[in-house]
Amino acid sequence: MSASFRVLNSRVSALCLFLTPRNHPVQCSVGGRWLSCSQTGDTLRPLEGVRVLDLTRVLAGPFSTMILGDLGAEVVKVERPGAGDDTRAWGPPFVGAESAYFLSVNRNKKSIAVDLKHPKGARIIQELAGVSDVLVENYLPGKLLEMGLGYEQLSRVNPQLIYCSISGYGQTGPQSQSPGYDSIASAVSGMMHITGPEDGDPVRPGVAMTDLATGLYAHGAVMAALLQRHKTGRGVHIDCNLLSSQVSCLSHIAANYLNAGKEAQRWGTAHGSIVPYQGFKTKDGHIVVAAGNDKQFVKVCQVLELKELTDDLKYKTNKLRVQNRKQLLHTLSERFLQEKTSDWLRRFEGSGVPVGPINNIQEVFSDAQVKHNGLIQDMNHPTAGRITVPGPAVRFSSFIPAGPMPPPLIGQHTVQVLRDILSYSDDIIKMLLETKAVAQNEVS
Amino acid sequence: MILGDLGAEVVKVERPGAGDDTRAWGPPFVGAESAYFLSVNRNKKSIAVDLKHPKERESSRSDVLVENYLPGKLLEMGLGYEQLSRVNPQLIYCSISGYGQTGPQSQSPGYDSIASAVSGMMHITGPEDGDPVRPGVAMTDLATGLYAHGAVMAALLQRHKTGRGVHIDCNLLSSQVSCLSHIAANYLNAGKEAQRWGTAHGSIVPYQGFKTKDGHIVVAAGNDKQFVKVCQVLELKELTDDLKYKTNKLRVQNRKQLLHTLSERFLQEKTSDWLRRFEGSGVPVGPINNIQEVFSDAQVKHNGLIQDMNHPTAGRITVPGPAVRFSSFIPAGPMPPPLIGQHTVQVLRDILSYSDDIIKMLLETKAVAQNEVS
């Protein structure tokens, strides 16, 4: 750790590193609102002081609110009493009673268990929306409106409220009432059509990238709205949806069709217009080679000890290699099969040709750079014990992502939130618990 | 581009001559512009500046700088965060790289396909009994761009409070590994290695694509009730009586046989017929659309995802529109993707207030270049 500290210090002097051990954030109360105060002011996070009311479930929404929490926002996750967020049950594997799925996208949030169908429950959400900066939800369009929790209704009480809706297809339009599922959206949006082996059937990305892209668009949109509010003093209604996120991400694939009528196809690991630029089977796995120009192709032939290929006129330029791809790739494939991945990687070192192994998950998390980037985040969970989740992707020179709150138990913070954010009296809280408008976990 | 869509003034710096490499990435081209370049460069001005020329050196008038050079390269040119923030402590400096600003791999150039491989994305994508493939569009690159656009705005928000800028480290490896979410958590907590599933789901059946007479349909039957509906629509009522398919857990255990039966049935009708029959059933279904079908979809059009505009030399161009809509503005009238160096003189004159003489000198010494179109 100290070696990387020295390197970090010499490279980016603006980074403030504190090696003092960090535990849970210190809780302090300022003006009736709970803030998470860091140990020193120098680790101020961008969204400190921002309160997010989180009505989302499953992946896209929770992923976006988790990033907001990572950036310092106070996230209050609303769950229905009993099961809560469906993904709590999505296992095996479980860690204690918590599914790994739930743990992976719910750190840095408090959980309150509220029955939205109970009139008192809906009232609580209305009141919380009145003292929150942001509300994020992923209900079917119109459902929250029926419960008195739609944008029009809540913004009347709190015109500053930033209301971010996440759905499958959009808040309006012919498909707006279709529930959003990543695999369906991935299919409808063209993502599956373009993913898969060249001569095989479509597949979907191995993790729900459509959901995740939507969460990423949403987290940015919320912050854009916060920036706008500095100028206008008003909130806004944001429409994020799986379909739009994935179609926008089609980028050049879309532009090829929209401008030149060029339909897309599947390419496996390969590239339609660059050869060789793909994965090759090795003796014990796979290696990906990205030889983007003629110079790099020559290097590839050198490393593979297939010098005759560089003399072959039909492989001289990228254009020619694309034309004669089948034969060239056959030759290269046979050669790659003869050695192990690690041997090829060693031989390619210093060649200037970008190469990399196709890592399985164990290999990913054994990678030195992955560890260096803080992508393995440990923390203590009140019942599951020690848990580990993938860490935040982005680093800021102004703070270290230390001491996250573990993913909450269902209803772990119900009483705390009612008491400290809404200033409810003990009697009222007792009544709400007894009438089952809300629920409190035995752990708090 | 997303920042430009949200109203930011984006000044794109390109090297004189070729500019951004992707300008040449075609066919297809529209006029002289590659569709690739057009797809991700609207709402930006282009200035052509030779960074290696000693004369060009100004970023103190900007709120944000975004770069994707190999870590250390800009520092060598006097354009590193430490140097520029001394002149402009408010500057938000967002670095995008392959693996990070520091660390053992920091000097490896960033390529989406390599990062996709190294980060585990390829390993988990592909047919169940086949080789890894990569997502058909560079989702690792795109996810990184999405993280970056959010980070820049987080930094702008922070600056309201602190008055200071920050250095941001975004990279392909971290973006994709973070996006592994539950796949990662399964391994990190339970040692469960991931595998490929094609279009299917490891723990829900039936939840995947099926071949039809003329294409594919994806069915997402997430619970027992929906499974019964699937059997009804397929007119395979005997499956609902079969004890070995009663619960999801059992269907997962007996997946091969069940999927074989369902697959054979789906093959018998066209995709559009199946979609019609599933309407109102409550089972989420959808076609695997090719790109033409995507852009014929009524909801895609409704969401404003087909964005037309006029380009000064290419004529009418069309690109995928912004993904997010705000109630406070309509994304109307985007600036078309710029020609290389189209706004060099305008920017020098209007943002930096350079005199005509100085601009003339910079053009003559080739420190900068101006497109004939402005």
Sorted by sequence, the CB contacts under 8 Å of residue A247 that are 6+ apart come out as A189, A190, A254, B294, B300, B303, B305, B320, B323
Q: What are the φ and ψ backbone dihedral angles of A354, each rounded to 5 degrees? A: -70, 125
| pLDDT tens-digit series, residues A175-231 | 999 989 999 999 999 999 999 999 999 999 999 999 999 999 999 999 999 999 999
Q: At A292, is the pLDDT very low, low, confident or very high (cuts 50, 70, 90)? A: confident
Residue A104 has pLDDT above 80, yes or no: yes
CA distance B109 to A18: 30
**SS3 state of residue A236:** strand
Residue A362, pLDDT score? 95
A244 CA: distance to closest CA in chain B (Å):
5
Contact A253 B201 (CB under 8 A): no
pLDDT band per the 50, 70, 90 thresholds, residue A1 = very low
- In eight-state DSSP terms, residue A29 is E
Closest CA to B13 of B347, B373, B354: B347
- What is the pLDDT, as a whole number, of residue B55? 61
* Domain positions in chain B: 1-183+294-369, 207-287
Q: Within the 370-389 window of chain A, which residues sit less than 8 Å (CB to CB) from chain B?
A: 370, 372-373, 375-376, 387-389
User: Does A291 lie at the interface with B, CB-CB under 8 angstroms?
Assistant: no
CA separation for the pair A157, A394 (Å, rounded): 35
The tokens describing B368, both together, are 């900068």
A380-431 per-position pLDDT tens digit: 999 999 999 999 999 898 888 777 899 999 999 999 999 999 999 999 999 9
The pLDDT assigned to B60 comes to 66
CA torsion sign for B254, B257, B259, B262 is negative
Instruction: Domain B207-287: give its CATH superfamily.
Output: formyl-coa transferase, domain 3 (3.30.1540.10)
Q: How far apart are CA A290 and CA B8, in angstroms?
A: 34
Task: Compute φ and ψ for B86, nearest 5 degrees.
Answer: -65, -40
Instruction: Find chain B residues with C-beta within 8 A of A271's C-beta.
Output: 113
Tell me, what's the pLDDT at B313?
Answer: 92
Q: In whole angstroms, give the CA distance from residue B47 to residue B44.
A: 10
- Render pLDDT for B22-44 as a digit per residue (tens, 0 to 9): 998 888 999 888 999 999 999 99
Choose the CATH number for B1-183+294-369 among 3.40.50.300, 3.40.50.10540, 3.90.1150.10, 3.40.50.360: 3.40.50.10540
- B282 in reach of chain A (CB within 8 A): no
Q: Is A201 a catalytic residue?
A: no
Chain B residues in contact with A217 (beta carbon < 8 A): 146, 323-324
Phi, psi of A121 (to 5 degrees): -65, -45
Chain B residues within an 8 Å CB radius of A67: 150
Q: How confident is the model at residue B53 (pLDDT cuts 50, 70, 90)?
A: confident
Sort out which chain B residues have CB atoms less than 8 A from A104's CB and list them. Answer: 181-182, 184-185
Peptide bond into B206 cis (omega under 30): yes
Q: What is the pLDDT of residues A231-249, one digit of tens each?
A: 999 999 999 999 999 999 9
Q: In whole angstroms, what is the distance from residue A134 CA to residue A109 CA?
A: 14
pTM of this structure: 0.90
- If 0-12 CB within 10 Å is exposed, 13-18 middle and 19+ buried, where does residue A18 land? middle
A contact residues 225-254, partner B, Cβ 8 Å cutoff: 225-228, 230, 232, 234, 236-241, 243-245, 247-254
Tell whether A349 is within 8 A of chain B (Cβ): no
Q: Cβ of A295 under 8 Å from any chain B Cβ?
A: no
β-pairing, B11-14 vs B45-49, is: parallel
Report the Cα A217 to chain-centroid distance in Å: 10
Kindly list the residues from chain A whose CB atom is less than 8 angstroms away from the CB atom of residue B171. 373, 393
Residue A27 predicted with pLDDT over 50:
no
pLDDT tens figures, B100-153:
999 999 999 889 999 999 999 999 999 999 999 999 999 999 999 999 999 999
CB contact under 8 A, A220 and B146: yes
Q: Answer whether A353 touches B (CB < 8 Å).
A: no
CA A409 to chain centre: 21
Residue A26 has what pLDDT?
34
Query: What's the rounded Cα separation, in Å, for the pair A147 and A120?
Result: 11
